[in-house]
Structure 1
Amino acid sequence: MNKQRILIITRNLPPLVGGMERLNWHMADELSKYAEVKVIGPQGSAELKPQSVSLSEAPLKPLPLFLFIAACKAVWFALRWKPDVILAGSGLTAPIAWLASKLCGAKSAAYLHGFDITVQDKIYQRLWTPTFKKLDRIIVNSTPTKQLAFAAGVPETKISIVYPGVSLPEHAQPDAAIAAFRQQHGLVGKKIMLSVGRLTTRKGLKEFVEQALPAIVQQVPEAVLVIVGEAPKNSLGAGIQNREEIEQAAAQQGVSEHIKFLGVITDKTQLATAYEAADVHVFPVRHIPDDPEGFGMVAIEAAAHGLPTVAFATGGIVDAVAHGQSGYLVEKDDYPALAEQTVHALNSPLASEGATEFAQNFAWDKFGIKIAETCR
């Protein structure tokens, strides 16, 4: 029997850094186990593509040029290769997937995150969002994103939830590596609150520093907020919080000595060491109706390394944190409660086994099976 042919169109792939980029890479990789997969992606992504995937590039910038070249290539693949399914890696490329599918009779689909639906841009809402209703299948990353898609007019029968996946570690990091990490960054004897991700307005680190960190260090003087990540350079629509703003907030609150920036860590072993050296992962995502957190993959990544997460119960984070098992959820925007729960997590740690057990549900191979089933 001939393998199914799947064409993926996305701007979100490495070397761009972020959760959507990791998801699209793994989506292509996992689907290639069940189908013949070709991808249209941004310039620079071919060098980092999954081995069993064929990838054709379009210029990353400017955005209109990427969309035009991606559309031209999608039409060419539709007419010459005749895929069975054309899948948009985000809402941005959904119109291209729909158009190309009409040329070859393929099924059309898109994997949507919360911001794909709520982005407040008049042109996008007028031209892009209506396309979602025309696609054969909409795949969403969480229960709240499903609700957003339904509110946007997508029939519920077309919507499938497939949670993002996680790379499960094969083994724990050696004690010597963790000790070296603490020594290198001046964290010996400290309680580490880890934050991993891009510095955007939605992630809320500045507000966490202003409204929660002072109360935490008052009760746990050895607590240090260790930040892995930086402001995004090529993200579309995300408001930015830069390092200087966060440092200024810390200085105003008198907690500058309790913050340490490590920048972006792309090496998997180094990032695993950071997770396993930490005492708690803090995820103070703000509730912004027009910019929701679609899922919260970093909470699953932390859980995979046995690290609990303390977060606001907003957006898709409610699906990414199992309260009392892989961490704690508090009412959105309740910073005193967030501080109190973080202190509790530092002083009375959850068993790491509960977090790792929860993370097992999100292994990439399970994600791949569900995506493949949806594409069929």
Structure 2
Amino acid sequence: MTEKVSISTLDVRNTAGTSTVTKFTYDTLTDNGYDPYLIFNAIPWDECVTLLNFYKQKPLPETEFSSYCGMEGFKIERVLPEVAVFNYILNFHKWSQYLENASKHIVTGGTCIQGLPLAIKNEQYICWIGTTFKDQHELQIDDFAPHRKYRNKLAFPVQRQYERHVLESADLILAQSSHTKERITENIGVSESKVELLPFPVDTEEYTPGGATNDKEILFVGRINAARKNTALLLNAFAQVLNKIPDAELTLVGEKPNEKLQTLINELGIEPSINIEGRVPSVLPYYRRASVFALPSNQEGLGIVGLEAQSCGTPVVSTTCGGPEDYVVDGENGFLVPIGDSESFAESLITVLTDSNLRNEFGDRSREMAVANYSKKEIQPRLQEYVSYL
């Protein structure tokens, strides 16, 4: 009989980064003869048991086994989602029931909170995570509406204790970057002996150099309006770039700027030089075309978009925001600048845009870095080895 493996994760329909990591894990397990399935809490409140359900005596949502983003698994209704600390407690009986089907267990996600039912059950499991709860909370809190900020601040101390319990109970923790590994061992106090570094891979066979390059184009890909992405830093830096390179262009891919960022664009007078693409079917042509990729974030667990750019031979200018410090080697294949330093960020962009020889050298080394250390060919066997450890 095929060995079943549970993947405790977040709602893959609503979390792009986690969905990508989970799909890679799911496919790796399938390719190696396992029978994986997902377990996750539903995010939409109309799929949860809310206070309003009780008040109006509505029929309660039911757990569904189905296919989600190309992966089979169980979607479990949250109970009283208004109170975040209840997310894995009041529906624990459901989690416990569906975890019983598997002989091996893996937790995937940004943080590890979804591993709480496994910790409570005292199961053996692996966590593969990109960040800590504290880092995520501090950098996302500014994006929340006032009522959600209040709820999250109240829940934060309890959820931090959940996180500690999950990490301390895990048999093995796979951190996606050196930054995350350091946060787990030094800030949370987990023994370094049980934390390994396993970055999320980039598809180096799909993300390849090619096509004509616009030698004056800077590219940003991501959630432009998220506070932790610090797009304002890039906009301020770009205004300085235009003073030296008037025909430079900035292309923004991911979403349209919100009112706050649009106001900044207008105040800086840079709108004529910005291409706002929003969501696109494929980012590959943009990676290939740009001269330099910009990562102005305040924090990144890994920063997969930077790796995708590197795999396409496009050098990266990044802040010292965590994950990118593993693959951007300052002065060798790109530049690293202090967080919040728009002047240094601008200077680095200008250097790459104006020195074609350096740009080509950086691009070649970036591609080499991606293929040698972050390809699926490199990461899949390591993940399989860790799974067999259980």
Q: What is the Cα deviation at residue 86 of structure 1?
A: 4.0
Tell me which residue corresponds to 2:238. 213
Are the equivalent residues in 2 in contact too, given 1:97–1:109 (CA < 8 A)? no
Percent identity of paired positions between Structure 1 and Structure 2: 21
Out of 139, 142, 153, the position equivalent to 2:177 is 142
| Matching of residues 131-170 of structure 1 within 5 Å | 131-151=166-186, 152-170=188-206
* Aligned pairs, number: 336
Question: Displacement, 1:224?
Answer: 1.6
Q: Is the 8 A contact 1:49 1:55 kept in 2?
A: no
Report the TM-score when normalising by structure 1.
0.80
**Mapped partners of 2:207, 2:227: distance in 1:** 34
Q: Cα offset for 1:129?
A: 2.9
Q: Which amino acid aligns with 2:386?
A: T
Offset, 1:68: 6.0
Alpha-carbon offset, residue 297 of structure 1: 1.0
Contact 1:191 1:223 in 2 (8 A): yes
Structure 2: 5+ residue stretches without partners: 44-65, 139-155
Contact 2:217-2:292 at 8 Å conserved across structures: yes
Could you say what secondary structure the match of 2:31 adopts?
A: coil
Q: 1:94 Cα deviation (Å)?
A: 1.9
Judged with a 3 Å threshold, the aligned counterparts in structure 2 of structure 1 residues 207 and 323 are, in CA distance, closer, same or farther, namely closer
Corresponding residue number in structure 2 for 1:85: 105
Letter in 2 for 1:307: T
Alignment pair present for 1:355 and 2:366? yes
Amino acid across the alignment from 1:195: F
Alignment partner, residue 96 of structure 1: 117
Unaligned runs of 5+ residues in structure 1 are 180-188, 232-241, 287-291
Do 2:21 and 2:108's aligned partners in 1 also have CA atoms closer than 8 Å?
no
The answer as to whether partners of 1:6 and 1:38 remain within 8 angstroms in 2 is yes
Shift of the 171–122 alpha-carbon distance from structure 1 to 2, 3 Å rule, reads: closer
Q: CA deviation at 1:56?
A: 2.1
Alpha-carbon contact 1:59-1:66 (below 8 Å) kept: no
Q: Secondary structure at the match of 1:369?
A: helix
**Residue 224 of structure 1 contacts residue 259 of structure 1 at CA under 8 Å; is this kept in 2?**
yes
Asked if 2 retains the 8 angstrom alpha-carbon contact of 1:281 and 1:310, the reply is yes
Contact 1:312 1:329 in 2 (8 A): yes
- 1-structure distance, mates of 2:5, 2:244: 54
Matched residue, 1:332: 339
Q: CA deviation at 1:70?
A: 7.0
Farther-moved stretch of structure 1 (352-361 vs 16-25): 16-25
CA distance in 1, matches of 2:173, 2:167: 7
In structure 2, the partner of 1:279 is 291
Q: Are 2:113 and 2:162, in contact at CA under 8 Å, matched by a contact in 1?
A: no
Distance 1:70 1:372 in 2: 31
The one-letter code sitting in structure 2 at the alignment partner of 1:207 is: L
Instruction: Determine the structure 2 residue equivalent to 1:75.
Output: 96
Matched, 1:113 2:133: no
- 2:14 equivalent in structure 1: 16
CA gap of 1:354–1:174, structure 2 versus 1, over 3 A, is closer
Partners in 1 of 2:216 and 2:301 — Cα distance?
A: 29
**Mapped partners of 2:90, 2:377: distance in 1:** 32
CA distance in 2, matches of 1:70, 1:28: 24
Alpha-carbon distance in 2 for matches of 1:12, 1:324: 39
Bigger CA drift: 298-307 or 131-140? 131-140
Q: Report if the CA contact (8 A) 2:215-2:290 is conserved.
A: no
Change (3 A) 1:321 1:336: same
Query: CA–CA distance in 2 between the matches of 1:274 and 1:3?
Result: 42
Does the CA contact (< 8 Å) of 1:91 and 1:128 recur in 2? yes
Amino acid at match of 2:336: L
Give 2:69's match in structure 1, choosing from 48, 56, 64.
48
TM-score (norm. length: structure 2):
0.77
Per the TM alignment, residue 4 of structure 1 is displaced from its structure 2 partner at its CA by 4.6
Amino acid at match of 1:112: I
8 Å Cα contact 1:6-1:87 kept in structure 2? no
Q: 1:320 and 1:174, CA in 2 relative to 1: closer, same or farther beyond 3 A?
A: closer
Whole-Å Cα distance in 2 between the matches of residues 82 and 10 of structure 1?
15
Task: Write the letter of the residue equivalent to 1:157.
Answer: S
Note the C-alpha offset of 1:172: 5.3
- SS of 1:295 mapped into structure 2: coil
